[in-house]
Amino acid sequence: MAAPFLPLTRPTIDEETIAGVGEVLRSGWITSGPKVKELEAKLSECFGGRPVRVFNSGTCTMEIALRIAGVGPGHEVITTPLSWVATSNVILEVGARPVFVDIDPVTRNIDLARAESAITPATRAIIPVDLAGQPVDRDRLYELARRRGLRVIEDAAQSMGSTWGGRPVGTTGDFTSISFHPNKNITTIEGGALVMNDEREAKLAEQYRLQGVVRNGFDGMEVEVVGGKFNLTDVAARVGLGQLPRLAEFNARRRELAREYFLRIDTAELREIGLGLPPADFTQSNWHMFQIVLPEARLNVPRATIMGELHAAGIGTGVHYPAIHLFAVYRRLGWKEGDLPLAEQVCRNILTLPLFPAMTEADVARVAAELHRILLAHRRG
């Protein structure tokens, strides 16, 4: 009997949370309401008492942070090409220009030395990404930002529960954007949160969240800024309230599974062909994803073939991510192949393996065995 298909990821939602969603539905208050307020308060506790507002995605949070920071037409924002395209799309949304810089080949995060070299008089902000939960060097990041007068919007979509210098991501710094998409370490089905610096920013975020509206009394209403429709529902917030207390548990399990991957995949044969492994960081990363980099020069088939054969063996995989600057939208801005060679090489060959708390050590062993078999079968020479 064939083993069941192992997906790339799957959220863990307990029965108490499911029952709680039912209670919200029966309450008659299903859009933004008391559960949203409760989730924001709980998140603020997680982030050292800083103001937090929740939204219907982790994309609009970055756009709103840019607007609060005053970034707009004529400005530039530095970011990485190795991320979900939302990271740079939000820069275009506010009318600014994204400036991509290459990555650090070890962490696969933005190279901060290259970032400094990319600063011009038009630069107003930097959006670093904690790829797969591996945090960007916050010490170097904020030293650079302070020295060059830049705002920072941390794209921490993937790093809820990661730490830097012993402190959770988001408890210090400037803006921190979190995602609660179903593939993240905790979920609200869809949703996100923005951690801010003060109540003035939080009030402005509330305006941008819901059409710019400010209410006063029973019938008073004013619109001071052009906002959108970005509010989170109480139904989604109740899911988040069930997930948040389990964050440490989920992340601990992810670390255990990542350790198992290293034990199973770091073999002499795969080292010999040059398989790239992620940084073995079991202190700071939340292990949102386990990503390998295929040795394209030592294989006689492309990545899609490897993924197809793993799928045929009952194992899901993913690509996180194609190089943003090579999408048509960004080519039209002048970006081209060869501009960011380190990122381009990684993006052609990066492969995300299954990793989620409900997996077992036997699942990891199965993935590793099939990966070993397929890669060695396609070894060049």
- Extended strands (E) in the chain: 52-55, 76-79, 97-100, 123-127, 151-155, 163-164, 167-168, 175-179, 192-195, 213-216, 220-223, 290-293, 350-353
- φ, ψ of residue 331 to 5 degrees: the values are -60, -35
Neighbours of 33 (CB within 10 A): 16
- Judge if the upstream peptide bond of residue 321 is cis by omega within 30 degrees of 0: yes
The residues pairing with 293 across neighbouring beta strands, listed in sequence order, are 276, 350
Q: What angle do CA 44, 50, 17 make, to 5 degrees?
A: 10
Q: Give the DSSP letter string of 102-131.
A: PBPTTT-SB-HHHHHHT--TTEEEEE-B-G
The single residue of 37, 42, 184, 203 carrying the catalytic annotation is: 184
What is the separation, in whole angstroms, between the first and last Cα of the chain?
Answer: 35
The residues pairing with 299 across neighbouring beta strands, listed in sequence order, are 379
CA distances for 237 relative to 57, 112, 161, 326, 356, angstroms: 12, 35, 18, 36, 21
Q: Which two tokens stand for residue 311?
A: 């799928």
* Short-list 359, 344, 370, 360, CA closest to 270: 370
Q: What angle do CA 78, 207, 40 make, to 5 degrees?
A: 85
Asked about 42 being catalytic, the answer comes back as: no
Alpha helix stretches (DSSP H) within 170-327 = 199-209, 234-243, 247-265, 268-273, 303-312
Q: Which two tokens stand for residue 93?
A: 């949304």
Residues annotated catalytic, as ranges: 184
